[in-house]
Amino acid sequence: MLALADVSPRPLFGTNLEASVIEALAETGWAVAENALDPELVAALRHRAAALYMANAFDDGRVGRGEALTDGPRIRRAEIAWLNGGDAAETRLLAGAEALRLTLNRELFLGLFEFEAHFARYPAGGFYRRHLDAFAGGPRSRVVSFVTYLNDDWGANDGGELAIWNHADDEGAPALLIAPKPGTLVVMLSERIPHEVRPARRERLSLSGWFRVNPGVGGVLDLAA
Ligand code: OGA
Ligand code: MN
């Protein structure tokens, strides 16, 4: 399941974009950049996801720690497939995530240790209710969330927006609605930023990943984690 970044770092975007993403993340807890990913990489990842889907590599996944599988569909209706570096597009994405991991650690001292990511396919009618990406109450693990979209285009009436709130106790309107357009990048603090995927009116493909710290065992660094 873990896609360990066993790849050389190679930036996904220029240093200006990287700097503005990191500045926004530090200031507000989230950052959004349109057309952040190269369209060729987006297309290659879309083809990879389609091939995995044809090969029945997607499944329902499980949301939350210890949650019954039967609760999953009420929270998220989507299927996922973990990246494992199994083709050039995945390797390129993981090399980009590795470059971003190093920059995040250098600029924000986050001590991020590894990256895991999955493709997610939301069918028409698919959604993911409001949630935080980090499991509450457990040891720290997911710290920074990374989301990008692999749809070939996305219309104003296609639904499927990502809604983001600034704080866990914000009950009102979201701070921002983001259309899942190809190449848009969203970065969020996993433990702080609630978000949801509104029902999509057509198939919606995303790629979500998480930079994690080593949770350790009993406060001791666990090199086997
Ligand atoms: C997730 C998630 C958002 C999106 O996978 O945890 O919140 O827009 N995805 O696909
Ligand atoms: Mn999420």
Report pLDDT digits (tens) over 199-217: 999 999 999 999 999 866 5
Which residues have any ligand 1 atom within 6 Å of their CB? Answer: 120, 128, 133, 147, 162, 180, 195, 197, 206, 208
In a domain, residue 223? The reply is: no
Cα 138 to ligand 1 centre (Å):
20
> What CATH number did the domain enclosing 192 receive?
2.60.120.620
Position 221 in a domain: no
The predicted pLDDT at position 139 comes to 78
- Mutation pick for ligand 1 pocket among 176, 206, 207, 212 (CB with most ligand atoms within 8 Å): 206
* Nearest CA owner, ligand 1 atom 1: 208
Residue 23 pLDDT:
98
Q: What is the pLDDT of residues 127-148, one digit of tens each?
A: 999 999 997 667 779 999 999 9
Distance 191 CA to ligand 2 centre (A): 10
Residues in the chain: 225
8 domain-assigned: yes
Q: What pLDDT, on the 0 to 100 scale, is given for residue 60? A: 83
Q: Is residue 218 part of a domain?
A: no
Domain that holds residue 62: 4-212
Name the E strands within the chain: 30-33, 76-77, 79-82, 114-122, 127-131, 142-149, 162-164, 176-178, 185-189, 195-197, 204-212
Question: Which protein residue's CA is at the shortest distance from atom 10 of ligand 1?
Answer: 206
Residue 159: φ, ψ to 5°? 65, -150
Q: Do the domain assignments include residue 73?
A: yes
Domain count across the chain: 1
Distance from the alpha carbon of residue 162 to the mean position of ligand 1, in angstroms: 7
Q: For residue 74, what pLDDT is reported?
A: 86
Cα of 218 to ligand 1 centre, how many Å?
A: 30
pLDDT at 93: 98
pTM (global) more than 0.85: yes
Residue 220 domain flag: no
Intervals of the chain under pLDDT 70: 1-6, 62-72, 136-137, 215-225
The pLDDT value recorded for residue 71 is: 59
